Structure 1
Amino acid sequence: MAVFLARDVFPGAVRGESTLSYWLMGTGTAFLFFMSVLGHELGHTLAARSAGIPIGGITLFLFGGAAQMNREPASAGAELKMALSGPGVSLLLAALFWAAYQICLGSLNTLAAMSLWLSQINLIVAGFNLLPGFPLDGGRVLRALWWRLTGDHLRATRVSVACGRITGLAIAAAGIFVLVQNRDWLAGVWLILIGAYLEYSARLSLRQFNLQQWMKGRKVSEVMETRCREIPPETTVSELLVDPGIERCLLVKLGDRQGVVFAPTLSAHSGTAGLGRIALPVDGALQISPGDDLLVLAQQMNETGRDYAVVKQDGQTVGFVFLDALIDLVNSSRGGNT
């Protein structure tokens, strides 16, 4: 982007500057643009945290980014607030850069040119993200409004995803038109890629939503391991792999602590490794109840980064759950089609 600005934008906007000045303008403007995109995503992040939704991280790309929510909003109002917060930041930045442009125009023309471009690009970012197609912000706004008006979260999601797919296909079609009619390869291919990515993201979002709905109806008791055998810590992986009747859950003494191993994962370790080296400490596991939804368990695993949990009932340990077992259940029960 800095190269594009320095070579193709600023020499025409501010004439008579040195090559070094154009490169400094391009680099500085590119940096401020990506800070603007970060501000857009921080708007989402702050709104999500105010609604009690943890954010796992932020990924930036050209026309926005993705604040990685560890769970979906619990209400239409929370989703609407989160969806509008990012474009709201972009519109605020567009206004601030426009004000800076007006202040600098005539006296500091290099800063004026930078401010004008930043104002315009923030408007574009806000406008693009407000297109009515999930998972864009505009699609989330559409889902939140439909959800609030009808009370039907499932239908609202399917409508917004359908709009997302239509929007993506329309953008890709516009790219093909530009490619064929105007012979503009850069703009055409860019629009095709954006449209294809949006259509794919919409389909993926629906699969993820359907998986979440499926998991809401299943309980931890369906996937927990209740039969566990205690194994000496010096027992090696190779010794266990030759035992066809080995339980899926293995308990290992780790000094005055207890560890646990999910047997189907043993093949991922060296055959000479002792169980004492690879066992996971039970006191470091998540704690969950057998009657909890699998979705609750999956969300807790996602938020904490832990891939195993101890199942407690009335203060007693009744089993263990491993992420690999949860994945196996999802794949077997839905044929891998999520």
Structure 2
Amino acid sequence: MAAPSETHSSGLVIARVRGIPVQIGPSWLLLAAFITFIVGSGAPELGALAYVVGVAYAVSLLVSVLVHEGAHAATAQAVGLPVHRVVADLWGGHTAYDPRLSTPGKAALIAVVGPVANLVLGALAWVASLAVTAEVPGRVLYGVAFVNVLLAVFNLLPGLPLDGGQLVDALVWRLTGRREAGLIAAGWTGRIVTVGVIVWFVVLPLLSGDQPSLTSVVWMGLIAVFMWQGATAAIRTGQARQMLARGSVAQVVQPVPVLRPHEVLEAAAATAGYAVVLDGSGRPHALVLPEDAASVPRERWASTPVSALARVQPDRWVAETRREDDLTAVVTAIQETQSPVVVAVEDGRVLGLVTVEAVNRAIGGN
């Protein structure tokens, strides 16, 4: 699944493709062990070889997931969105990318290419299984084909956190012009899909007199919990964005002098010393605060470089946004940096500073 909001993750980096780290999360080992056990214990006619086949299935599933997520990552990069990582874990996998420059069309394209990649890989595996005469390789290839078709179909179910939910999100976003409406709608369809999965795989077999295995019930339960949590997170994110839409960047931004390190404190006299300091590449890098400026005698402001007082700010304190945008980008920067102040930038030009207090006033006053 595409996971546009995630920025931090842990896992073993097994490769870097075009600068994107490809990770295996620790929980993937649990999935691999489960698949190996199920396949190995389900084919006693193969003896110990059955567990080798189980390992082959686990590895082939990993490859299938990485192909799926690689398609998401490559497409996100192709449409100009920075990609943070590709991760394979207990739930399959996800691709974390920066959604701030996304559009409904880009989001839909990124979502759909994952299942399409699985369908292509499944078709290739099926053709290869027909050409192989040996039983074990043929069985593995057929399994790869089946799993990839299953992954494609399941991921196209119309609810977040699945790719089909991303398509619902993009469609509602396009029709309404409001991203938060798309998230809420796709979150609710995700909840409906979750209930449908439980009914289809657990409730209906019980009503028809069949007895699902304990393994199937536990596995479906875990999948349902994962899907319900993802759907609920989407609804809450949409509701939070609704709240942030009450204000605009223009309402909360405070213009301040933007200075080079060698420029003097006197250039920030109009703001009592408040100033944004750029680095060598022209990127906002540090901040001069009025309390620091006050520690310098006023007669020395004309000779004191701002570099002597500037406080280097945390990574990601720059909110790429526009004056007419809502508060999503600046609040995201505040949350990620845990800083009471961030800098708003539009097309490389510093608009000014945004404080937590200003955001709270804007939200509370509407």
TM-score scaled by structure 1?
Answer: 0.67
- Show the counterpart of 2:229: 200
Given that 2:159 and 2:191 are in contact with CA atoms closer than 8 Å, whether structure 1 keeps it comes out as yes
1:218 corresponding residue in structure 2: 248
SS of the residue corresponding to residue 99 of structure 2 reads: coil
Q: Percent identity?
A: 23
What residue in structure 2 maps to residue 286 of structure 1? 318
Report how far residue 300 of structure 1 moved: 6.4
* Distance verdict in 2 for CA 1:65–1:329, change over 3 Å: farther
| Contact 1:225/1:321 (<8 A) preserved | no
**Post-superposition offset of 1:162:** 1.8
CA displacement at 1:299 relative to structure 2: 5.8
Confirm or deny that 1:67 pairs with 2:100: no
Q: Partners in 1 of 2:351 and 2:42 — Cα distance?
A: 72
Gapped regions of structure 2 (runs ≥ 5): 1-30, 257-270, 275-288, 297-303
Q: Indicate if the aligned counterparts of 1:220 and 1:297 stay in contact, CA closer than 8 A.
A: no
Q: Give the CA RMSD over aligned residues.
A: 4.4
2:52 paired residue number: 24
Q: Which has the higher helix share?
A: 1
1:91 Cα offset (Å): 0.8
Q: Select which of 290, 293, 296 maps to 2:329.
A: 296
Match of 1:9 in 2: 39
Q: Residue deviations 1:193-217, cap 9 Å, x none? A: 2123212211211221332343343
Counterpart residue identity of residue 280, structure 1? V
Counterparts in 2 of 1:214 and 1:47: CA distance versus 1, 3 Å: farther
Alignment length, in residue pairs?
291
The whole-number CA distance in structure 1 between the counterparts of 2:197 and 2:171 is 24
Tell me if the contact between 1:40 and 1:64 (Cα under 8 Å) persists in the aligned partners.
no
Of 112, 115, 128, the residue aligned with 1:100 is: 128
- Aligned equivalent of 1:142, options 144, 164, 168: 168
The reply on whether 1:80 has 2:102 as its aligned counterpart is: no
Given that 2:183 and 2:234 are in contact with CA atoms closer than 8 Å, whether structure 1 keeps it comes out as: no
Distance in 2 separating the partners of 1:326 and 1:50: 38
* One-letter amino acid matched to 1:9: V
Q: 1:122-147: per-residue Cα shift (whole Å, max 9, x none)?
A: 11111111111123111222333445
Query: Is the alpha carbon distance of 1:73 and 1:128 closer, same or farther for their aligned partners in structure 2, counting shifts above 3 Å?
Result: farther
CA deviation string 1:16-61 (max 9, x = no partner): 56x2x44433323312211210111111112222222222223323
Contact 2:165 2:187 in 1 (8 A): yes
Higher mean Cα deviation, 83-92 or 55-64? 55-64
Residues 124-163 of structure 1: pairs in structure 2 closer than 5 A: 124-148=150-174, 150-153=175-178, 155-163=181-189
Please state if 1:50 is matched with 2:78.
yes
The range that moved more, 177-186 or 79-88, is 177-186
Indicate conservation of the 8 Å contact 2:85/2:95, yes or no: yes
Is 2:184–2:234's contact at 8 Å kept on the other side of the alignment?
no
Aligned AA for 1:257? S
In the alignment, which residue of structure 2 is the partner of 1:268?
Answer: none
Structure 1 unmatched runs, 5+? 231-247, 261-278
1:257 to 303, 307, 318: 307
Note if contact 1:167-1:199 (Cα within 8 Å) is conserved in structure 2: no
Give TM-score scaled by structure 2 length: 0.63
SS of the residue corresponding to residue 53 of structure 1 reads coil
Q: Match for residue 268 of structure 2?
A: none
